[in-house]
Amino acid sequence: MKKLLFVMPLISVLTACDNASVPAAFTPEMASFSNEFDFDPLRGPVKDFSQTLMNEKGEVTKRVSARLSQEGCFDLLELHDVENNSGATLVLDANYYVDGTTEQKRILLQGKCQLAGIPAAGVTWDTDDNGFVIASHGKDFSVDYRYDSEGYPLGKTSTSGNETLKIIASPPKDPRKKLDYTAVSLLNDKNIGNVAQRCDYDRHDNPLSCTLQIVDDSAKPPVTRHYTIKNTIEYY
């Protein structure tokens, strides 16, 4: 009985420690790529994943899938925009991402696997001391990115000519539910839309499925669209 009384408090302590553990931070590559290629960032030892966006009719509108190395580099990234009949397959090859079909060099990398530029388009990316992409530049545009202390993307400011588009994301206070966010879009400081997302999470605090509401305030009257997101995630 004494041994049992000793073990039970110990189990309680260990369980409490496990529950109080801090969620994994978002890596520079995951956070930066999610900004550039428009998908929800994931955390932890992700091996591969897919994110599928479906409209109210259940029709697939966009799909992103990727395969990552154990170091967190994107070895393969596939992008499909069904609505606009466009897409791309990017394969890691030395310090470039090459086109999966033509094998042409598309994106130049810096370091081991972070974005550096698109030479053919005159696009370059800047990183901070922690390896996060904080800005991109082109002939006619510039973009600045923001992150919180965990590496979660907080939005971006895009400038082209006389127009400035700001996307400001607000994640919840619960650090384990970062993807339950709201966001507003401002064009020249005028509200043109907002987004709200809610998700179900797995044990790595990554979203398994989400509901997404997008309100277009630039339309008269405003238009509200509802989507669902289905994720598949495999871990190392």
- The torsion of the CA quartet 124, 105, 60, 185, rounded to 10 degrees, works out to 10
Q: For residue 32, what are the contacts with CB-CB under 8 A and spacing of at least 6?
A: 114, 115, 125, 127, 132, 133, 145
Residue 124 within a domain: yes
Instruction: Evaluate if pTM is beyond 0.75.
Output: yes
Residue 185 within a domain: yes
Tell me the CATH number at 87: 2.40.160
Residue 15 within a domain: no
Range of the domain at 226: 28-235
- What is the pLDDT at residue 14? 41
Residue 118 within a domain: yes
Which tens digit of pLDDT belongs to each residue from 54-65?
999 999 999 999
How far is 154 from 138, CA to CA, in rounded Å? Answer: 22
Below-70 pLDDT ranges, the chain: 1-20
In the chain, the number of structural domains is 1
Query: Can you tell me whether residue 28 is helix, strand or coil?
Result: helix
- What is the pLDDT at residue 175? 95
- What is the pLDDT at residue 6? 42
How far is 116 from 128, CA to CA, in rounded Å? Answer: 12
Tokens coding 47: 């091996």
Residue 2 within a domain: no
Residue 17 within a domain: no
